[in-house]
A and B are shown apart, each in its own frame.
Chain A
Amino acid sequence: MSVEIKTTSVEPIRNTYSAIARRFGDKPATRYQEASFDLAATTNFHYRPLWDPKRTLNDPTRTALRMEDWYAVTDPRQFFYGAYVGNRAKMQEAAESSFAFCDKRNLLTRLPEETQKQLLRLLVPFRHVALGANMNNSKIAGDSTATTVSQMHMFAATDHLGMGQYLSRIALLLDGSTGTALDESKTYWMDDELWQPLRKLVEGILVVDDWFEITLVQNVLLDGLMYPLVYDRMDAWFGEQGAEDISMLTEFQRDWYKESLRWTNAMIKTVVAESGRNREQVQSWVKNWEPMVYEALKPIAQATTGLDALDELRAELSVRLKKAGLESTGVQA
Chain B
Amino acid sequence: MASKNKKLNLKDKYQYLTRDMAWEPTYEKHEDIYPDESFEGIKILNWDQWEDPFRLTMDTYWKYQAEKEKKLYAIFDAFAQNNGQQNITDARYVNALKLFLSGISPVEYAAYQGYARVGRQFSGAGARVACQMQAIDELRHAQTQQHAMSHYNKHFNGLHDASYQHDRVWFLSVPKSFFDDARSAGPFEFLTAISFSFEYVLTNLLFVPFMSGAAYNGDMATVTFGFSAQSDEARHMTLGLEVIKFILEQHEDNVPIIQKWVDKWFWRGFRLLSLVGMMMDYMLPNKVMSWAEAWEMYYEQSGGALFKDLERYGIRPPKYQDVANAAKNHSSHQTWATFYQYSQATNFHTWMPQEDEMAWLSEKYPETFDKYYRDRFEHWDKEQKKGNRFYNNTLPQLCQVCQIPNIMTEKDDPTVFSHRQVKHEGERYHFCSDGCCDIFKNEPEKYIQAWLPVHQIYQGNCGGADVATVVEKYYHIVPGVDNMEYLGSPDHQRWLDIKGLKPLSTSRQKKTAA
Interfacial residues, chain A to chain B (CB-CB below 8 A): 1-2, 5-6, 8-10, 12-19, 29, 31, 34-36, 38-51, 57-58, 80-82, 85-86, 88-89, 91-93, 95-96, 103, 106, 109, 113, 116, 127-128, 130-131, 134-136, 138-139, 141-143, 147, 150-151, 154-155, 157-159, 161-162, 164-166, 168-169, 172-182, 186, 189-190, 199-200, 203-204, 206-207
CB pair B164 A51 closer than 8 Å = no
Residues of A within 8 A of B497 (CB): 5-6, 8-9
Residues of A within 8 A of B110 (CB): 41
Q: A89-B66, A95-B59 are in contact. Are A82 and B28 (CB under 8 A)?
A: no
Residues of A within 8 A of B136 (CB): 81, 154-155, 157-158
Q: From B144-152, B263-271, B298-306, B321-329, give the one contacting chain A.
A: B144-152
Complex interface bits, B303-334 against A, C-beta within 8 A gives 1, otherwise 0 = 00000000000000000000000000000000
CB pair A35 B143 closer than 8 Å = yes
Q: Is B120 an interface position by the 8 A CB rule?
A: yes
Residues of A within 8 A of B408 (CB): none
Q: A186-B23, A189-B23 are in contact. Are A13 and B2 (CB under 8 A)?
A: no
Residues of B within 8 A of A82 (CB): 69, 72-73, 140, 143-144, 147
Q: A86-B66, A138-B135, A142-B119 are in contact. List 12 more A-B contacts (CB 8 A).
A: A1-B500, A38-B163, A43-B167, A86-B70, A113-B1, A154-B132, A165-B59, A168-B20, A180-B1, A181-B1, A189-B23, A207-B33
Q: Is B231 an interface position by the 8 A CB rule?
A: no
Q: Is B49 an interface position by the 8 A CB rule?
A: no
CA distance A80 to B76 in the complex (A): 16
Q: Distance in Å from the Cβ of B72 to the closest Cβ of chain A?
A: 8
CB pair B155 A41 closer than 8 Å = no
Complex interface bits, B161-187 against A, C-beta within 8 A gives 1, otherwise 0 = 111101110000100110011011111
Q: From B216-224, B335-343, B446-454, give the one contacting chain A.
A: B446-454
Q: A6-B498, A158-B136 are in contact. Are A38 and B66 (CB under 8 A)?
A: no
Q: Distance in Å from the Cβ of A249 to the closest Cβ of chain B?
A: 13
Q: Distance in Å from the Cβ of A41 to the closest Cβ of chain B?
A: 5
Q: Is B117 an interface position by the 8 A CB rule?
A: yes
CB pair B109 A39 closer than 8 Å = yes
Residues of B within 8 A of A150 (CB): 113, 116
Interfacial residues, chain B to chain A (CB-CB below 8 A): 1-8, 12-13, 16-18, 20-23, 25-28, 32-33, 35-36, 39, 57-59, 61-63, 65-67, 69-70, 72-73, 83, 86, 106, 109-110, 112-121, 125, 128-129, 132-133, 135-136, 139-140, 142-144, 146-147, 150, 153-157, 159-164, 166-168, 173, 176-177, 180-181, 183-187, 446-447, 449-451, 456, 476, 494, 497-498, 500
Q: A44-B168, A46-B180, A47-B181 are in contact. Are A16 and B150 (CB under 8 A)?
A: yes
CB pair A47 B449 closer than 8 Å = yes
14 cross-chain CB contacts under 8 A: A10-B83, A10-B155, A16-B150, A44-B167, A44-B173, A46-B173, A81-B139, A109-B2, A141-B112, A142-B118, A158-B132, A162-B58, A165-B59, A204-B27
CA distance A204 to B12 in the complex (A): 30
Of A35, A135, A147, A177, the residue contacting B120 (CB under 8 A) is A135
Residues of A within 8 A of B65 (CB): 85, 89
Q: Distance in Å from the Cβ of B79 to the closest Cβ of chain A?
A: 13
Of B22, B32, B187, B476, the residue contacting A18 (CB under 8 A) is B476
Residues of B within 8 A of A17 (CB): 146, 150, 153, 159-162
CB pair A143 B117 closer than 8 Å = yes
User: A43 — nearest CB in chain B belongs to which residue?
Assistant: B167
CB pair A85 B21 closer than 8 Å = no
CB pair B132 A41 closer than 8 Å = no
CB pair A81 B140 closer than 8 Å = yes
